[in-house]
């Protein structure tokens, strides 16, 4: 299965998908790992491999017993990997395209741990906030995930959104009542970072939410 996921092996998309289907049908282990601890699910979500059939392939692997909570060497689960590698489909204006082809959003329809953190103590919400993945952020907020997780540097999703300069994500987090008073290990709050980056709109929104 891992070899079939390799984009450099030279097969065409439909041929590779057929190979995967045959291997799964023959009882191949979907949870075998490579040297980085990545399973087939990790590889599928960390490249543009079959992006147009991603949902279908994920569904096939889950049916075959793929472990969605398996972690790679960096502590990333399938959901965290998907958030790290959000692609063009996650930002599509077509709701069906987002639902079926955005790996992170597709996975949230399954019983996965939405608040899993990796070795950097980052959750999917934090990763998506830093990576400007608004659709993923909104999806996770609708599922009431924890807002104020702090990573190994003390940053929160709100701080990461400010540092990334994404006002829409900042606004979404503030509406969800993210804590504006938390500080990172450098004693910088979201408002401090907004001032550091000269983001007048971010400063305005944060002060309106009670930041001082």
pLDDT of residue 89: 63
Mean pLDDT confidence for 168-179: 97
The yes-or-no verdict on residue 118 having pLDDT over 90 is: yes
Q: State the residue for tokens 């909570």.
A: 69
Mean pLDDT confidence for 9-28: 63
Helices (H) and strands (E) in the chain — how many of each? 12, 0
CATH of residue 178's domain is 1.25.40.20
Among 7-11, 69-73, 208-212, the minimum mean pLDDT is found in 7-11
Residues 6+ apart with CB under 8 A from 176: 141, 147
- By residue range, what is the domain housing residue 205? 147-212
The Cα 162–Cα 3 span in angstroms is: 40
23 shares its domain with 111: yes
- Positions of E strands within the chain: none
In a domain, 81, yes or no: yes
In a domain, 129, yes or no: no
Overall number of domains in the chain: 2
Mean pLDDT confidence for 91-115: 76
**pTM for this entry:** 0.88
The Cα 78–Cα 112 span in angstroms is: 9
6 shares its domain with 109: yes
Q: What is the pLDDT of residues 158-167, one digit of tens each?
A: 999 999 999 9
pLDDT band at 7 (very low <50, low <70, confident <90, very high): very low
pLDDT band at 187 (very low <50, low <70, confident <90, very high): very high
The Cα 149–Cα 25 span in angstroms is: 40
Classify each residue of 127-144 as buried b or exposed e, where b means 16 or more C-beta atoms within 10 Å of its C-beta.
Answer: bbbbbbbbbbbebbbeee
Which has more confidence, 81 or 103? 81
102 shares its domain with 189: no
DSSP type of residue 72: -
116 shares its domain with 164: no
In a domain, 132, yes or no: no
């Amino acid at each position: 299965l891992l070899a079939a996921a390799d984009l450099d092996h030279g097969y065409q998309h439909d041929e590779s998908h057929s190979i995967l289907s045959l291997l799964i049908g023959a009882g191949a282990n979907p949870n075998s790992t490579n040297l980085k601890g990545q399973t087939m699910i990790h590889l599928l979500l960390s490249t543009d491999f079959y992006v147009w059939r991603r949902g279908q392939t994920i569904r096939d692997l889950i049916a075959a017993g793929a472990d969605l909570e398996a972690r790679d060497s960096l502590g990333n689960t399938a959901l965290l990997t998907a958030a790290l590698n959000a692609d063009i489909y996650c930002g599509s204006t077509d709701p069906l395209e987002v639902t079926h082809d955005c790996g992170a959003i597709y996975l949230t329809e399954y019983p996965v741990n939405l608040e899993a953190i990796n070795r950097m103590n980052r959750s999917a919400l934090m990763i998506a906030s830093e990576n400007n993945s608004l659709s993923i952020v909104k999806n996770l907020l609708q599922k009431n995930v924890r807002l104020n997780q702090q990573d190994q540097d003390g940053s929160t999703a709100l701080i990461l959104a400010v540092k990334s300069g994404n006002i829409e994500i900042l606004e979404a987090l503030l509406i969800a009542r993210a804590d504006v008073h938390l500080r990172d290990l450098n004693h910088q709050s979201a408002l401090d970072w907004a001032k550091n980056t000269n983001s007048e709109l971010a400063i305005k929104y944060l002060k309106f939410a009670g930041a001082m």
